[in-house]
Structure 1
């Protein structure tokens, strides 16, 4: 399948597929002499796995580590996806029930103790993929991999600072200009290497750059007014890529 056909099938942008190719996450099996990407059935199966990972908020860097590991097993990974989604389903169901009970409590129909109000909340971010890896290969092997990932994080920080610097040089131009939008697109895809940012979330993050003085102070170190410029550029980008 051609890249446009895959994008239409999966409901993601062609630019996203190009980005996955550029970072080595999903390379098409063949590229024609004219430079057109051709995706095989295996490519599509791998893309499905990637989207499962993304649905579970696994960063692109981590997905690359998992899927390029020599011991990567498609069936076991699908089983792990299923387990993780069931866990998330259970947590969501519990939160909905707690909200319903809290509403009844606020209306005076039932009584909830403080212990009941907060029972079940957990802010411990357990990486189930890392836990499974440690169970399979041992702590030492996984810790060594994490050291390599830390090196990647330092490289990401360097790239982030470079984008800040590049945006700072054009912050007095229009946020909707082609030059600004090219740079802000780099920011969008870099953020998605580290997390899972929809266009809506991306625009919301831009608003925080101005609303939260901590963001504003850090970003404006690269140039006065950069936070506002990035917010406007991010908002324009999100609206024009739906």
Structure 2
């Protein structure tokens, strides 16, 4: 079932939105990177994201705070995951914190995180801000 979900992911549906927000070069780089991956690599990349989201949900359900060592360790994994589609380019503090804001503001992101429990997106956003302030320039 998970393999079927991964196979159906079509990133090209976001071409116009990505181009409008971040420019044609950002879309083209991401598109080139995604197409260069094998099916197994694509599945692994997506599974990593699902695992990280579930870990954030478990942390929220356990009552952990965004600044706890456990949540910050999950956030560090999330930060490393976000570099995948950027060909190793590491987002700065403002970009990473802004991504966290988008997870809450954009319902498409929020529902994917809050499936693990209401408030998971907010926990992630807050944890990303704390991580960015402490670790990124």
TM-score range (shorter-chain normalised) is 0.5 to 0.7
CA distance in 2, matches of 1:231, 1:126: 27
Counterpart residue number, 1:165: 54
Offset of residue 126 of structure 1: 4.3
SS at 2:64's partner residue?
coil
Counterpart residue number, 1:211: 105
State TM-score, norm by structure 1.
Answer: 0.39
Any residues of structure 2 matched to 1:68-217 within 5 Å, and which?
123=24, 125-126=27-28, 146=36, 148=38, 150-171=39-60, 172-195=63-86, 196=89, 197-217=91-111
Q: 1:180 to 1:151 in 2, by over 3 A?
A: same
CA distance in 2, matches of 1:126, 1:209: 23
Unaligned runs of 5+ in 1: 1-121, 131-144
CA distance in 1, matches of 2:64, 2:49: 20
The structure that has the greater radius of gyration is 1
CA distance in 2, matches of 1:212, 1:226: 14
SS at 2:115's partner residue?
helix
SS at 2:77's partner residue?
helix
**Where is the helix percentage greater, Structure 1 or Structure 2?**
2
Offset of residue 151 of structure 1: 2.3
Q: 1:169 to 1:234 in 2, by over 3 A?
A: same
Offset of residue 147 of structure 1: 5.8
Offset of residue 216 of structure 1: 0.9
Deviation per residue, 1:169-190 (Å, 9 max, x gap)? 1112110001110010000001
CA distance in 2, matches of 1:160, 1:201: 18
Unaligned runs of 5+ in 2: 1-22
| CA RMSD, Structure 1 to Structure 2 (Å) | 2.2
- Give the counterpart of 1:228 among 97, 119, 122: 122
Any residues of structure 2 matched to 1:20-31 within 5 Å, and which?
none
Q: 1:217 to 1:147 in 2, by over 3 A?
A: closer
CA distance in 1, matches of 2:37, 2:66: 38
Offset of residue 208 of structure 1: 0.9
